[in-house]
Structure 1
Amino acid sequence: MSRLVVVSNRIAIPDRSKSSAGGLAVGILDALKTTGGVWFGWNGEISEISGEEEDDLSLTENDGITYASVPLNQNDYDLYYCQFSNAVIWPAFHYRIDLVQFQREAWDGYCRVNELLAKRLQPLIKPDDILWIHDYHLLPFAAALRKIGVNNRIGFFLHIPFPTPEIFNALPTHEALLKMMCEYDLLGFQTESDRSAFLDNLRQLTTLQQSGNDSYCAFGNTFMTEVYPIGIEPDSIKEMAEGPLPPKMAEMKRELGDAQNIISCERLDYTKGLPERFLAYEALLEHYPQHRGKVRYSQIAPTSRGDVQAYQDIRHQLEMEVGRINGKYGTLNRTPLYYLNQHFDRRLLMKIFRLTDVGLVTPLRDGMNLVAKEYVAAQDPEDPGVLVLSRFAGAANELTAALIVNPYDRDDVAAALDKALTMPLAERLTRYNDMMAVLRKNDITHWRESYLQDLRTIQPRSAEHGPATGMTSL
């Protein structure tokens, strides 16, 4: 079996990264352990070197996996990561074109770092390796590899949404990005909407030819596109959620008594709809007064990208809203809204999910949102909580038994919260069992194996002789 080479912006080096305990890292590690291979990416370190030194590649071997990583210098980090990946692609792909801060220098840095990373990876690649590249930081990575003669099968998976032409065309480099993406052999997306948006962008820009259902040709390159909704490990989540509570949590549970609990958890980001969510909770207390003093909403939102102004602004806005809502509806012995700007251990978080009555997950736009899936998997099968989920999260395509809401409509969300808080056990069980069936069917193993199986069926570029035949223009 061909060896697997995984490339991501950050890598989970053993004993150095907490993320290796779960999430995407689990899916990647299982695949690498099966075939052997390499996980390559930035190690998170900022160095003083220029970025061209040959001795900056760090190699660590563990369980048949080679962890290969490189540092970035401050200038490359600023341009590639901060100014282009997170200040251009991230807001644009989440439909916040108003927050895009495009600078030509940042674009040049983004491309340069992708080329630098490709050159550092090239010596590690064997002729029959297959390469799996992850996420928006590395859109040009296949093009950079092709430029230096790498003809292996290269797949790409986009974890975030892909915008429609009306949004994408606003980026000055939209044509260059599309051409670079077509250098991949397989492009995977979270939802059919994202895949369709990518193809619509190509149709507007060039002649797009199709052969079969998922094979296309554009800019002289043949590639496949497919939808692979990323999953979780339901049994692992269940195991973390079960068991005795830590002493402080047990004490907190006793103090709450019969109060109902709503929980939300995501990193602090303008795409997550936190201000809109707070206003929806306020609408619940205003329009459904029977819940006042009987419900508590806890929002966990650890800081991310705290040096970016847009993130500083939303943190300040949330702190203001929390004070206003608690001042309006709080009592001497009850605080209706708790806002926790801190990180929680993942195992502890799963136990918190299990204790709560409602999971409130209402991003304004999200590629998938694994928190929604984890909330369901963490529930007590005999007394599950209810998931309230944004229609704009990719997970809404699968978790149709959740209460699906429009996060921009505070009254819609408030009504869903009221329904969730008063939902009888029989209905909660039906919805929970329906969602768990989906989570077990489309777990992270299914996601990984489906993608890699498709990638392995593709003929390497070195054996191709131009665009595929039998194609029709779209």
Structure 2
Amino acid sequence: MSRLIVVSNRVSVPQAMGAAGAQGGLAVALSSALREHRGIWFGWSGKEIETFTGHLDMQRNCDVTTVTIDLEPQDIDEYYNGYANRTLWPLFHYRIDLTEYDRSFDEGYERVNERFADSLLPLIEPDDLVWVHDYHLLPLGAMLRDKGVTNRMGLFLHIPWPPTRLFVSLPNHEQLVASMLHYDLIGFQTEEWLDSFIHYVKKEMGLRVTDDCAIEYEGRQILARAFPIGIDFDEFTEGARSQEALEAHDRLKSSVRGRKMLIGVDRLDYSKGLGERFDSFGRFLTDNPGMAKDVVLLQIAPPSREDVASYQQIRQDLEQKTGHINGAHADVAWVPIRYVNQGYPRSELAGFYRAANIALVTPLRDGMNLVAKEYVAAQDPEDPGVLILSQFAGAAHQLTDALLVNPHSTEEVSEAIKRALQMPLEERRRRHQALLAAVRDQDVVLWREQFVTVLQGDAPPAPPQAEPPRAPDESSSELL
């Protein structure tokens, strides 16, 4: 079996399920994959250094070998805060109004990718598979090819791929995509994002694409596929039964004093639709005064990218909305929104999920969203909660038995909250059973195995077939 080298912007030292400090979906997924597939996880340490030296820090934790480099402050400002998170991130999430174009960002992005390539090169052995992750490192494959690497290399994009009419607003967009075509395999979360990419290479680059999504470029064929990511189902459910999870569940249940609880867990990011979510909850309170004092919304939103102005603004906006809604509706014994700016270990989150009657997962645009899947996995099958899910999350293509909503419509989300609170136990069980099967059967192991199988050059598996989000059904009042 070939060794696997995983490359991502940041390397999170793997932790046990209940260890302090919550890890993101990518960190959890990659740690799970590498525990079962020998290899190395390479990337930035998250630390600053005055002058880049190329020093490699190698560690082994929880059966995963990590290798990291440090970056200079200018690198972080131009590559990470700049091109990655002020140019690509908003553009790929359809927020062209927030997208910033600056030549220094481009230069920093190229420089850091070159540093990744130089540092990674000595670690690559002839039979290794190289698996690069996400928008921070799109040109890395081309740079490794320029240095003589002939290994099989794949790229997986965890975020959406925007429609062509938006993507062409990016200066040098064709050059960026051409660099991506030096990988052997390019993976996307859903067929929708894959279709957008294929449309671009056909329309803007004039390339031929076969029926099985093989792109012909400079005498080579590059495969493009959809590989929906999942959670480590067994690990997560085991952690959900831990003492830490049980204590978190009981603590939260006790604190709401018999009220129904809604939960949201998201990084503090404009793509997550948190402002729209608060507005929708505020509308529910206004439209349903008889139900209002029986519910509480817990929103956990750890800060991220605090050096980027748009992230500072979203935090200010949410604090103002929280104050406004609580001021308009609270009384001395009840506050409708609990807004928490910190992260929690996954075992505690599992306990919080199980205590919640409803999960509000309502991003404006999301590549997948693993919170939706974790919420489903954490539920008591005898008395499960209800998942309210944005139709614009990649997870909506798999979790079709959730209440699917348009997060831009406060009325629609408000009505979904009311419906979820009133949903009969039999319907909740039926929906949860279908959701749980999807989460269990399409887990991170399947994701890893499908991607690596295709990357190795073996016969590609059939692309995952999932129903699209369902259209409204007037007879059942299905929410979209």
TM-score (ref. length: structure 2): 0.90
The alpha carbon displacement at 1:256 in A equals 2.6
Matches within 5 A, 1:53-452: 53-54=53-54, 56-61=55-60, 66-242=65-241, 250-452=250-452
Q: 1:336 to 1:22 in 2, by over 3 A?
A: closer
- Kept in 2, the 8 Å contact 1:358–1:387? The answer is yes
In the alignment, which residue of structure 1 is the partner of 2:6? 6
Q: 1:22 to 1:198 in 2, by over 3 A?
A: closer
Residue 278 of structure 1 aligns to a residue whose secondary structure is: helix
The alpha carbon displacement at 1:10 in A equals 1.0
In the alignment, which residue of structure 1 is the partner of 2:38? 36
- Kept in 2, the 8 Å contact 1:277–1:407? The answer is yes
- Kept in 1, the 8 Å contact 2:167–2:173? The answer is yes
The alpha carbon displacement at 1:64 in A equals 6.8
- Kept in 2, the 8 Å contact 1:12–1:19? The answer is no
For 2:239 and 2:152, locate their aligned partners in 1 and report how far apart those are by CA, in whole Å. Answer: 37
The alpha carbon displacement at 1:240 in A equals 2.5
Letter in 2 for 1:384: P
For 2:409 and 2:176, locate their aligned partners in 1 and report how far apart those are by CA, in whole Å. Answer: 34
Q: 1:34 to 1:333 in 2, by over 3 A?
A: closer
Query: Which deviates the most, 66-75 or 156-165?
Result: 66-75
For 2:63 and 2:351, locate their aligned partners in 1 and report how far apart those are by CA, in whole Å. Answer: 33
User: For 1:391-448, what per-residue CA distance to the aligned partner results, in whole angstroms no more than 9, with x for missing partners?
Assistant: 0000000000000000000000001000000101000000000001111110010000
For 2:205 and 2:247, locate their aligned partners in 1 and report how far apart those are by CA, in whole Å. Answer: 62
Q: 1:327 to 1:18 in 2, by over 3 A?
A: closer
The alpha carbon displacement at 1:83 in A equals 0.6
The alpha carbon displacement at 1:37 in A equals 2.0
The alpha carbon displacement at 1:31 in A equals 3.9
Letter in 2 for 1:393: A
Residue 334 of structure 2 aligns to a residue whose secondary structure is: coil
- Kept in 1, the 8 Å contact 2:4–2:129? The answer is yes
Letter in 1 for 2:400: T
For 1:211 and 1:246, locate their aligned partners in 2 and report how far apart those are by CA, in whole Å. Answer: 52
For 1:181 and 1:215, locate their aligned partners in 2 and report how far apart those are by CA, in whole Å. Answer: 14
The alpha carbon displacement at 1:65 in A equals 5.0
Return the match for 1:48 from 47, 50, 53. 50
User: For 1:152-211, what per-residue CA distance to the aligned partner results, in whole angstroms no more than 9, with x for missing partners?
Assistant: 100000000000011100111211111111111100000001001111111122222133
Letter in 2 for 1:99: L
Q: 1:35 to 1:254 in 2, by over 3 A?
A: closer
The alpha carbon displacement at 1:221 in A equals 3.9
For 2:418 and 2:374, locate their aligned partners in 1 and report how far apart those are by CA, in whole Å. Answer: 22
Letter in 1 for 2:50: E
Structure 2 gap segments, 5+ residues each: 460-480
Structure 1 gap segments, 5+ residues each: 460-474
Residue 149 of structure 2 aligns to a residue whose secondary structure is: coil
In the alignment, which residue of structure 1 is the partner of 2:470? none
Q: 1:22 to 1:139 in 2, by over 3 A?
A: closer
Residue 271 of structure 1 aligns to a residue whose secondary structure is: helix
User: For 1:253-303, what per-residue CA distance to the aligned partner results, in whole angstroms no more than 9, with x for missing partners?
Assistant: 234332111110101100000111111111111222221211111111111
User: For 1:439-468, what per-residue CA distance to the aligned partner results, in whole angstroms no more than 9, with x for missing partners?
Assistant: 111001000001000110169xxxxxxxxx
Residue 211 of structure 1 aligns to a residue whose secondary structure is: coil
TM-score (ref. length: structure 1): 0.91
Number of residues paired by the alignment?
Answer: 456
Percent identity reads: 45
Q: 1:15 to 1:404 in 2, by over 3 A?
A: closer
Query: Which deviates the most, 1-10 or 22-31?
Result: 22-31
